[in-house]
Chains A and B, each alone.
Chain A
Amino acid sequence: DTAVSQTPKYLVTQMGNDKSIKCEQNLGHDTMYWYKQDSKKFLKIMFSYNNKELIINETVPNRFSPKSPDKAHLNLHINSLELGDSAVYFCASSQGLAGKPETQYFGPGTRLLVL
């Protein structure tokens, strides 16, 4: 069984479109994350939710809007896609124990290509 899953795996779209990526984890974790990995393989945190509450919001354009309907799901909606949004987007989750650094478990990634 997949612990952290994402859909879709690949997404090719035109500039200006709006798209969503979905993430689900079945590990019973309280915290979920979105990361962006660019063409140089640099992995950068975008957002984090703990039990549906936003706790990390990095400097990300407001075209990106995360939504957590419950603690097992974290979706990412992107408006008005730009060429620079092309990247691999990884979802991750961790247990969510306050104040302690935790191992994060990553999903398989969504490869977004904006044309």
Chain B
Amino acid sequence: GQNIDQPTEMTATEGAIVQINCTYQTSGFNGLFWYQQHAGEAPTFLSYNVLDGLEEKGRFSSFLSRSKGYSYLLLKELQMKDSASYLCAVSLAGGGNKLTFGTGTQLKVEL
């Protein structure tokens, strides 16, 4: 079966940097996505990795190591509005663009 693990909750301070880890064991791999979901709202796309390495997008960066089945999302200069759930999702090869999601990491940003 498919297994995607993320920490359930994290707390960080405004202005700081936080790293949210995701490990996966899936049959086939075609890319890894990170989504942000605020309470009561829809998931919104943050970043995508298909090759090993770091993808940077403003305050957000995502890293992938395919050999280790590992990714992380790095959030810099945290703001209160970054308090949300962060979802790691793996796209499976031959899966018709099917995304398998982790359980999400609830990030709380405090003053």
Q: Which residues of A contact B (CB under 8 A)?
A: 4, 31, 40-45, 48, 50, 55-56, 90, 94, 96, 100-109
Contact = CB atoms under 8 A, between A and B. Distances in A.
B85 A41 contact: yes
B91 interface: yes
B95 interface: yes
Which size bracket describes the interface of B in this complex?
A: 20 to 34
Contact of A56 (B41, B43, B50, B95): B95
A45 B37 CA distance: 16
Interface in B89-111: 91, 95-101, 103-104
Contacts, number: 54
Given A4-B42, A109-B41, 20 more contacts: A31-B97, A41-B85, A43-B43, A43-B87, A43-B104, A44-B101, A45-B100, A55-B96, A56-B95, A90-B43, A96-B97, A100-B97, A101-B33, A101-B97, A102-B97, A104-B45, A106-B42, A106-B43, A106-B44, A108-B42
Interface of B: 30-31, 33, 37, 41-45, 48, 50, 85, 87, 91, 95-101, 103-104
B98 A48 contact: yes
Contacts of A31: 97
Contacts of A96: 97
Contact of B98 (A40, A42, A45, A90): A45
A90 B87 CA distance: 15
Given A101-B31, A101-B91, A56 B44 contact: no
Contacts of B30: 101
A114 B5 CA distance: 30
22 contacts: A41-B104, A42-B101, A42-B103, A45-B98, A48-B97, A50-B96, A56-B95, A56-B96, A90-B42, A100-B97, A101-B31, A101-B33, A101-B48, A101-B91, A102-B97, A103-B33, A103-B48, A104-B97, A104-B99, A105-B45, A106-B44, A108-B41
